[in-house]
Amino acid sequence: MIFEAFQLGYFQTNCYLIGDEKTKECAIVDPGGTPDKVLKRCEELGLKIKYILLTHGHGDHIAGVERIKTKSGAKVLMGKEDEYLVNGGTQELIPIFRNIKPFLPDGYLREGDIIDVGNLKIEVIETPGHTPGGLCFKIGNILLSGDTLFQGSIGRTDFPKGSFETLINSIKNKLLILNDETKVFPGHGPSTTIEKEKKFNPFLNE
């Protein structure tokens, strides 16, 4: 498996490249800024971008969607409950993202869906709280947690439609039940593990 991370945009959002070495298919997760270096890397590796996967619809996770889709023809998949954000909501919420053109996804993802990227299987986990349509993606022992879970912290819930209680329930009931060895790659900041967050995350040990 090809797995690489890129920091994009003003908020240094972690954008992830997941590729199958045999079939050369790949998915891009959360392109939150100008994605030129991601596109260049895909070209270097001879990868065809099949999907753009969004953990949620905030501007710092979607700013590069249009360029990647235009260049590759990739399908955009996300949680339905966050459609309002990519269709104009995030632009109203945060003025810095007003230049992002509203769009609609090509499909919606639900709990338990499996996304096939070549021979790789990406599992969808619904984790509302930061946003109503928040998702995490699991590939083997790798979890892409978006803005749901961070090293030593959790996602903000002070945005419209955010819910602290819902977020905590999502993390405890959906993520902390995963194997302790699961590596967590969040939407911002360094990676961690489920074991470390169980032990040391102050928001999960109250």
How many domains in the chain? Answer: 1
Residue 65, domain CATH? 3.60.15.10
Compute CA 117 distance to the chain's CA centroid, rounded to the nearest angstrom.
Answer: 16
Per-residue pLDDT averaged across 49-57, rounded?
98
Per-residue pLDDT averaged across 48-58, rounded?
98
52 CB contacts (<8 Å, ≥6 apart)? 27, 28, 29, 31, 65, 68, 69, 74, 75, 76, 77
Q: Which pLDDT value is given to residue 206?
A: 65
Q: Which domain holds residue 107?
A: 2-204
Q: Which pLDDT value is given to residue 52?
A: 99
Q: What is the pTM of this model?
A: 0.96
Say yes or no to pLDDT of 170 above 70. yes
Least confident of 32-36, 80-84, 93-97: 93-97
How many angstroms separate the CA atoms of 81 and 114, rounded? 19
Q: Which percentage of the chain shows pLDDT scores above 90? A: 89
Sign, CA torsion 53/72/5/66: negative
Least confident of 49-58, 87-96, 168-177: 87-96
List, for residues 93-144, the tens digit of each pLDDT value.
777 888 899 999 999 999 999 999 999 999 999 999 999 999 999 999 999 9
- Closest Cα to residue 138, out of 164, 114, 161, 107? 114
How many angstroms separate the CA atoms of 93 and 28, rounded? 24
Q: Which two tokens stand for residue 146?
A: 């978006």
